[in-house]
Amino acid sequence: MSVITMHAAQRNTESAAKKFEVTCSGCNLREICLPKGLDATEMKRVEQVVYARRRIHRGEALFHAGDAFSAVYAIRSGFFKTTVLNDDGREQVTGFMMSGELVGMDGIGTGCYNGNAVALEDCEVCVLPFALVEEISREIPALQRHLHCVLSREIVRDHGVMMLLGSMRAEERLAAFLLNLSKRFTRRGYSPSDFHLRMTREEIGSYLGLKLETVSRLFSKFQEEGFIEVNQKHILILDNAGLERLLGVKH
């Protein structure tokens, strides 16, 4: 290949990269991510916050507990699990995060990340340096309000997990978990009843405070009772109302 041809190919590659680059204003997750509800001018300003995009391969950590806090991350694609280590050294799953959600908010108060964020599949994240987020949020009240909403949602989620682990029976915990996933997939335009679990049964058990054997038994029980159809990690919810009845939701 000649030098001229090589330079032409390079220019074409760079042009294609720019052409298909996704900005906040063109992202299909904008309504559930940090820039929600901003006008065009404000959106352009917020786009300056996105420092870089990172690809995280399955099994890799986005950050570890104890790492210095510098940024929050908006998940563009993929699934993460967040974990902490118990006193006995065992890993405890504290959450599952998906596209359109922010991860790393736990480091705001202490200046370091309190847990680990590990990719359950190949993922892509937008890096949002928190110093810039704070600076621009002072200029754009709508962004500041949404940031507060995200923080509030994290607090509510933590309270929900505490209630899940403290007061619900095992079958109620798994039903609540599946219904929560269904609602989150729906918000992203995916099927509310037909989806793949990115996490293992063991990770689900860790999150729900259940043993692996209990989780496996409950999946089988839910299938026998006609609530769901299970094929390894593929889940088909057949009776959404039935799962809700397990939680005491009346129709």
Same CATH topology for 27-164 and 170-246: the answer is no
Domain ranges of the chain: 27-164, 170-246
Query: What top-level class would CATH report for the domain 170-246?
Result: mainly alpha
Percent residues over pLDDT 70 in the chain: 81
Residue 241's contacts (CB-CB under 8 Å, 6 or more residues apart) are: 251
pLDDT at res. 86? 83
Backbone angles phi and psi of 213, in degrees to 5: -60, -35
Least confident of 25-34, 38-47, 187-196: 25-34
Q: Picking from 4-8, 103-107, 132-136, 225-229, which range would have the lowest pLDDT averaged per residue?
A: 4-8
How confident is residue 193, by pLDDT bands cut at 50, 70 and 90?
A: very high
Alpha-carbon distance of 64 to 82, in angstroms, equals: 10
CATH architecture designation of domain 27-164: Sandwich (2.60)
Task: Give 223 or 154, the one with higher predicted confidence.
Answer: 223
- What distance in Å separates the CA atoms of residue 23 and residue 30, rounded to the nearest whole number? 10
Identify the pLDDT of residue 53.
87
> Does the pLDDT of residue 227 top 80, yes or no?
yes
Q: How confident is the model at residue 45 (pLDDT cuts 50, 70, 90)?
A: confident
Query: Model confidence over 73-131: pLDDT tens digits?
Result: 989 999 999 999 888 888 899 999 999 888 998 898 899 999 999 999 999 998 989 88
End-to-end Cα, the chain, rounded Å = 69
Tens of pLDDT along 135-145?
888 888 877 77
Q: Percent of the chain beyond pLDDT 90?
A: 51
Q: pLDDT value at position 37?
A: 67
Query: Which residue, 102, 98, 95, 97, is CA-closest to 34?
Result: 102
Whether pLDDT at 171 is above 50: yes
The contacts of residue 77 (CB under 8 Å, 6+ apart) are: 99, 123, 124
CB distance 52 to 127 below 8 Å: yes
The token duo for 102 is 């922010």
- When comparing pLDDT for 45 and 213, which is higher? 213
Judge whether residue 32 has pLDDT over 70: no
What is the structure's pLDDT at 1?
43
